[in-house]
Structure 1
């Protein structure tokens, strides 16, 4: 890999210095995720097994190949906005979801081993763009 100073790169390319962290609202992040899934609506995506029964620390590290979360992580726009990996905990943090909301999108108990992308997108679109007061309180006290 060859390293260049920023000034050298700006001569040959337009450099977006804001690229590492593009600001997106929660609603924009959720919408982008749903749109990515809808690009291939019949794609079968893996689910995560029994997320509701895992200890919080274990649940946070759960991941799988070809899950709805990994579809989000493949997107350079969402990564630029701050999505750091394709784990359950990172999706929960980045998309500002409760365990209950993410469980509806990703858990084996709802869909079996796979879920089609359109169904996952449907559940993502069903998430309120602003969490309600009771949802925030429940998440604060129940985790």
Structure 2
């Protein structure tokens, strides 16, 4: 087998670098937040009264020009697996719970429009909250389990 340098291979082969895909929930949320932070004063229409719709209809709910549509326009998010610009697509791709998606996208919380800067701030909080929840659960589990461990091994 003959070894060649990268420069030699690029002269012979058609090599195009592929973007690193966003594989974690945190990376996806932070990338979406970074996109929104580029224009913090921009406003996006919110989704109308999400909580009043039957669950089956929520998944397909979309509004042209929404923050989800803005995310779907990003090639990296699409390449990483964002399959559409609906409420359901956003929930599943970004790993949002119902309450998180509702707080971020619904008109009853945000009014008719949401500012990009505010949405980015909420996304960053959601991205960091999962780790904090696990740490808190571990601490509580340790505190609760300590007396039992002392009884068993003490």
Normalised to the residue count of structure 1, the TM-score between the two structures is 0.76
Q: Which residue of 2 aligns with 1:49?
A: 48
Q: Which residue of 1 aligns with 2:27?
A: 28
Measured against aligned partners, the alpha-carbon deviations of 1:101-143 in whole angstroms (never above 9, x if no partner) come to 011110101121101100111111121245957xxxxxxxxxx
1:1-143 correspondence to structure 2 within 5 Å: 13-15=14-16, 22-127=21-126, 128-130=129-131, 132=133
What's the C-alpha RMSD, in Å, of the aligned pairs? Answer: 2.2
Q: Which has the higher helix share?
A: 2
CA-CA distance at 1:11 after TM superposition: 6.2
Measured in 2, the distance between the counterparts of 1:54 and 1:12 equals: 53
Measured in 2, the distance between the counterparts of 1:129 and 1:65 equals: 30
Secondary structure of 2:59's counterpart equals helix
CA-CA distance at 1:86 after TM superposition: 0.4
CA-CA distance at 1:14 after TM superposition: 2.3
Q: Which ranges in structure 1 are unaligned for 5 or more consecutive residues?
A: 1-9, 134-143
Q: Which ranges in structure 2 are unaligned for 5 or more consecutive residues?
A: 1-10, 135-154
Measured in 1, the distance between the counterparts of 2:52 and 2:37 equals: 29
Report the number of matched residues: 122
Kindly name which structure, 1 or 2, has the bigger radius of gyration based on alpha carbons: 2
